[in-house]
Amino acid sequence: MEFSQTLISMRKAKGWSQEQLGEQIGVTRQTVSKWELGDTTPEMDKLVALADLFGVSLDELAGRASPQTEHTSAPVPQGEVVSDETIRRVVRESFHYEYRSKAHIGSLPLVHINFGRGLYTAKGVIALGNIAVGFLSMGLVGIGVISLATLAIGLFGFGALALGGLVFGGVAVGYFAFGGIAVGVYSIGGVAVASDIALGGYANAKVAIGHSPHGTVTALTEQNGMTLVDMTADVLRDLIDTTLPNTAKFIRDLFVNIVS
């Protein structure tokens, strides 16, 4: 049995994870993973530390022990076959990186990075991970005040699919939504659907502005490639003020400035 397989067997016999083994001899989990994959081998001082930890000789640690050899500590199962699941797990763990800053704000680390093959979650003020949860979150799935992710959920969300307050995305659903498909109280997009004001190629809202508007009040922005003469800034401003008098001035002006 090679050293890498012997190390896996001895570690499993003790019931230790790669991280637990690494902590006992002063190396990282990634280092232990590389040893078990056979990518690298330990230096002499680490080999000695491993041999002492498992209560075996260096020959036995290298896989040269006789099947009849007995140890005072838990024996290594002889003839053990490493399962496919173990190999897959070792490979999966080798593609993993995690960093957690010592600085904390409350109970959360200032920075937590946790990427790899699998559902690795990062939780911190600044979180970067497959699943990221934090004030500023970045990853495949991001949840936070400011979220940048494939699936972004936050007060400010940026992603292929964005959900939240002010959101930008291929599909954006929020209070104020910008996207290819935008759904919200106020929406701007190729397809814009809103409860109050929508601006887009297809627009559906109380005030709908676009090439194909549908709503209580509609404003057709173009006809045969030409902007309609009567669609001036003043006309659109009055239309919004009349239909939705409680609309915030900066929101009304945003739509007016985009169109005019």
Contact criterion met (CB below 8 Å) for 90 and 37: yes
Average pLDDT for residues 52-80, to the nearest whole number? 63
Alpha carbons 168 and 181: distance in angstroms, whole number: 10
Give the chain's count of helices (H) and strands (E).
8, 9
Q: Residue 56: which CATH number?
A: 1.10.260.40
User: Taking all residues of the chain, what is their mean pLDDT, rounded to a whole number?
Assistant: 83
Of the three residues 67, 94, 121, the one that is the final residue of a domain is 94
Does one domain contain both 107 and 149? Answer: yes
- Is the pLDDT score of 230 beyond 60? no
- Is the pLDDT score of 80 beyond 60? no
Nearest to 46, CA basis, from 60, 65, 64, 27: 27
State residue 195's pLDDT score: 95
Beta carbons within 10 angstroms of residue 228's beta carbon: 12
Does one domain contain both 89 and 104? Answer: no
- Is the pLDDT score of 95 beyond 90? no
- Is the pLDDT score of 189 beyond 70? yes
State residue 90's pLDDT score: 57
Q: Which residue has the tokens 């001036």?
A: 232
DSSP three-state, residue 65 = coil
Alpha carbons 209 and 197: distance in angstroms, whole number: 8
pLDDT higher at 241 or 86: 241
Does one domain contain both 164 and 125? Answer: no
Total count of domains within the chain:
3
Each residue's pLDDT tens digit, 11-49: 898 888 999 998 888 899 999 999 888 888 888 888 888
* pTM of the complete model: 0.60
Each residue's pLDDT tens digit, 101-152: 989 998 889 999 988 777 789 999 999 999 999 999 999 999 999 999 999 9
State residue 84's pLDDT score: 60
Does one domain contain both 165 and 143? Answer: no
Alpha carbons 8 and 27: distance in angstroms, whole number: 16
Does one domain contain both 90 and 169? Answer: no
State residue 161's pLDDT score: 95
- Is the pLDDT score of 71 beyond 50? no
Does one domain contain both 201 and 165? Answer: yes
**pLDDT-based confidence at residue 70 (cuts at 50, 70, 90):** very low
Give the tokens for residue 70: 């007995």
Please state whether beta strands 104-105 and 108-109 pair in parallel, antiparallel, or not at all (unpaired). antiparallel
- One-letter amino acid at 183 equals V
pLDDT higher at 259 or 188: 188
Of the three residues 115, 134, 154, the one that is the final residue of a domain is 154
Q: Which residue has the tokens 């199962």?
A: 77
**pLDDT-based confidence at residue 156 (cuts at 50, 70, 90):** very high
State residue 81's pLDDT score: 53
Of the three residues 44, 77, 94, the one that is the final residue of a domain is 94
**pLDDT-based confidence at residue 213 (cuts at 50, 70, 90):** confident
Domain span including residue 234 = 160-259
% residues pLDDT > 70 (the chain): 82
Q: Which residue has the tokens 């676009």?
A: 210
Alpha carbons 48 and 33: distance in angstroms, whole number: 18
Average pLDDT for residues 225-248, to the nearest whole number? 75
Most confident of 69-78, 81-90, 98-107: 98-107
Does one domain contain both 143 and 118? Answer: yes
Alpha carbons 231 and 229: distance in angstroms, whole number: 6
